[in-house]
């Protein structure tokens, strides 16, 4: 018992001494650095910051990549429009408030290369009408509409507030047929309101998220689209262009699979799809023609290769692999497509359209940010 009582104070002293040493070490060692939180990129634009006479022109310019607006008769008094846009990496989401106006898609304008995303619009206040070559439909508060931006349509919207979800075709190749089947329609039944609730909740939650949350957010959004867009028989019966949409998707997949093959030709595609040359040409009218579409995809792939720091091949070798045997022709086509030359990408002067966190969206003028973002999504 004596030994036992003698040991206890010694152990207590040792424990106290060890504790003090540990405390000294902790104070001396640098504390761990908490990683900086990087919020989801968010951009704002409002016409209210401009003189009244310039407000409509700026609003029109801010949508120039996807739509054209007819000028209302009373714009001298000003035009109210606001955008809040979130860059989600593979998607874009915009919250928009606008005065009433008439709109027209860019598809069919030979001088332009229209954006070919699907646009899902939730009208929160106001109403709209869309007119296509084969049908028309109306949307009101609470409804979700599906517009393919690469197709021909026009319409009008009253003073409105809405959410716009831009979905690139490459984001959901496995459900493209479903979106094509419900294009130019209002989602009805229980699934439309469910998607509306999801978009509303997403906007509310975005301020609390950071870029590390984006992969999970994108997966959740993809799953929600797959669940809500699956067409019912009524949609399929009403989809006048479903066959053409399916053929177009098959043609796009065929092109992507054989993109770098030197013998890729119109004849090869017509045989594979079992359609005539004229039918194939009509499928790609909105994209400026099938030849233009193929070159566009090849240039995007070449751009990605030039911007890859691990790919140190000569520019001529990359051009040749991507279907351009003439270096001068490649440079001219590249400059027409992107507005700068291949060497600027190779040297890092241009970061390119496919790198979402270092692209030019953040440095663009506010009126151009949505346009820049939609172009980048098209290029991914």
Q: How many CB atoms lie within 10 A of CB 210?
A: 12
Angle among Cα 250, 254, 257 to the nearest 5 degrees reads: 140
Give residue-wise pLDDT tens across range 125-161.
Answer: 999 999 998 889 999 999 999 999 888 899 999 999 9
78, HSE (Cβ side, Cα atoms, 13 Å): 9
- The fold for domain 42-238 equals Jelly Rolls (2.60.120)
Q: What is the pLDDT of residue 234?
A: 47
Give residue-wise pLDDT tens across range 153-188.
Answer: 999 999 999 999 999 887 876 666 677 778 888 887
pTM of the model: 0.63
pLDDT-wise least confident of 21-30, 93-102, 139-148, 273-282: 21-30
Instruction: Considering the chain, tell me which residue range(s) the CATH 1.10.10.60 domain(s) occupy.
Output: 242-306+308-350
Q: What is the pLDDT of residue 376?
A: 75
Residues ≥6 apart with Cβ < 8 Å to 89: 211, 214, 218, 356
Residues 97, 160: contact at Cβ < 8 Å? yes
Q: What is the pLDDT of residue 353?
A: 43
Q: Concatenate the DSSP letters of all residues of 166-214 into one string.
A: EE-GGGGGGGHHHHHHT-SEE--TTHHHHHHHHHHHHHHHGGG-BGGGH
Instruction: Considering the chain, tell me which residue range(s) the CATH 2.60.120.10 domain(s) occupy.
Output: 42-238
Check residue 226 and give left, alpha or beta (phi > 0: left; psi -120 to 50: alpha). alpha
Q: How many CB atoms lie within 10 A of CB 99?
A: 20
Q: 229 or 282: whose pLDDT is higher? A: 282
User: Which CATH architecture group holds 242-306+308-350?
Assistant: Orthogonal Bundle (1.10)
The residue with tokens 């089947």 is 181
Encode 339-376: b = buried (16+ Cβ within 10 Å), e = exposed: eebbebbbeeebebbbebeebbbeeeeebbbbbbbbbb
Give residue-wise pLDDT tens across range 13-57.
Answer: 434 444 444 444 433 444 444 456 788 999 999 999 899 999 999
CA-to-CA dists, residue 224 to 67, 194, 195, 199, 227, angstroms: 27, 9, 7, 10, 5
């Amino acid at each position: 018992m004596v030994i036992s009582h003698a040991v206890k104070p010694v152990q207590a002293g040792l424990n106290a001494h060890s504790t003090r040493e540990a405390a000294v070490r902790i104070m001396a060692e640098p504390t761990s650095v908490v990683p900086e939180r990087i919020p989801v990129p968010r951009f704002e634009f409002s016409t209210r910051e401009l003189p009244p006479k310039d407000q409509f022109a700026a609003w029109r310019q801010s949508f120039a990549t996807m739509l054209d607006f007819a000028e209302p008769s009373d714009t001298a008094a000003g035009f109210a429009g606001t955008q809040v846009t979130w860059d989600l990496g593979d998607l874009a989401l915009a919250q928009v408030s606008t005065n009433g106006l008439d709109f027209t898609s860019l598809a069919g304008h030979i001088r332009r290369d229209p954006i070919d995303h699907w646009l899902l619009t939730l009208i929160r206040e106001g109403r709209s009408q869309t007119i296509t070559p084969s049908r028309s439909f109306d949307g009101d508060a609470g409804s979700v509409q599906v517009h393919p931006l690469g197709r021909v349509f026009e319409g009008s919207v009253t003073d409105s507030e809405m959410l716009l979800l831009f979905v690139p075709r490459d984001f959901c190749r496995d459900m493209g047929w479903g979106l094509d089947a419900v294009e130019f329609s209002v989602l009805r039944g229980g699934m439309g309101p469910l998607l509306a609730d999801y978009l509303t909740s997403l906007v509310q939650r975005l301020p609390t998220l950071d870029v590390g949350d984006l992969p999970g957010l994108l997966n959740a959004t993809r799953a929600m689209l797959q669940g809500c867009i699956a067409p019912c028989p009524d949609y399929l019966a009403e989809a006048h262009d479903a066959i053409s949409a399916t053929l177009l998707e098959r043609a796009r997949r065929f092109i992507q699979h054989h993109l770098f093959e030197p013998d890729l030709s119109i004849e090869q595609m017509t045989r594979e799809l079992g359609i005539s040359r004229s039918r194939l040409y009509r499928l790609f009218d909105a994209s400026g023609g099938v030849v233009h579409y193929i070159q566009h995809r090849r240039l995007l792939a070449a751009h990605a290769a030039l911007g890859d720091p691990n790919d140190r091949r000569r520019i001529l070798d990359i051009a040749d692999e991507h279907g351009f045997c003439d270096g001068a022709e490649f440079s001219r086509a590249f400059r027409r497509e992107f507005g700068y030359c291949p060497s600027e990408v190779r040297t890092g002067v241009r970061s390119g359209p496919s790198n979402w966190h270092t692209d030019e969206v953040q440095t663009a003028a506010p009126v151009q940010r949505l346009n820049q973002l939609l172009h980048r999504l098209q290029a991914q």
